Amino acid sequence: MQIIEHQNIQLNNLISYSTKVKHSDILKLTQYISDNLHVLDLKKNDNIIFAEKTHDNEETVNVEILIPVQGEIQKCNEYSYKPIFKLNNAVVIRHEGNLSDLSRTEALLQDFIRDHDFKTSAGPYYVVIRNGDQNSNNCIIDICIGIEYSSA
């Protein structure tokens, strides 16, 4: 698998939604959100990003989902507004396949970081390129981890 260094990600006008969800349902949730943005008079204009904040157990995770949108975001208790998301100097690896195998791909990236003596500054963040099918097969997710400039 190819690992790409020195990547910068910047997205503007985002909805941030934090919740607790089964790890296996993360992509279903991102698809549901994407399919229902029209209710808020919004349109997704880039890939959805998510970050796992904490794991309650092996199945459940606290996750933040960032959705870049076109349109004016109204205040709401269910989500918050982020004017900008930046991840600078990231190393990125692409995962293709089942969501349940994502941790193996991420382990390859973590090994790369350790082998190069990089110090992480942020992440991991997961960029959903393709959601896959109902069972989270055939998904494409870029795993991005920020690296301190002094160590890259």
Q: What is the pLDDT of residues 95-118, one digit of tens each?
A: 999 888 999 999 999 999 999 999
pLDDT band at 152 (very low <50, low <70, confident <90, very high): low
> pLDDT tens, 128-141?
999 876 666 789 99
E strand spans, the chain = 3-22, 43-44, 48-55, 60-70, 80-97, 120-130, 139-147
> pLDDT tens, 3-60?
999 999 999 999 999 999 998 889 999 999 999 999 889 999 999 999 998 766 778 8
**Among positive and negative, which fits the CA dihedral 17, 23, 29, 30?**
positive
Q: Report the topology of domain 3-151.
A: Multidrug-efflux Transporter 1 Regulator Bmrr; Chain A (3.20.80)
Provide the 3-class DSSP secondary structure of residue 116: coil
Instruction: Please tell me the predicted confidence (pLDDT) of residue 77.
Output: 86
Alpha-carbon gap, residue 56 to 17, rounded angstroms? 18
Instruction: Please tell me the predicted confidence (pLDDT) of residue 1.
Output: 77
The secondary structure element, H or E, covering residue 100 is: none
The whole model's pTM is what?
A: 0.91
- For 151: left if phi > 0, alpha if psi spans -120 to 50, otherwise beta; the answer is alpha
Instruction: List CB contacts of 121: < 8 A, sequence separation 6 or more.
Output: 89, 146, 147, 148
Closest by Cα among 39, 107, 98 to 67? 39
Question: Would you say residue 142 has pLDDT above 90?
Answer: yes
DSSP conformation class of 147: E
* pLDDT, mean over the chain: 91
In percent, how much of the chain has pLDDT > 70?
94
Find where tokens 């991005």 sit.
144
- Compute how many other C-beta atoms are within 10 angstroms of the C-beta atom of residue 80: 14
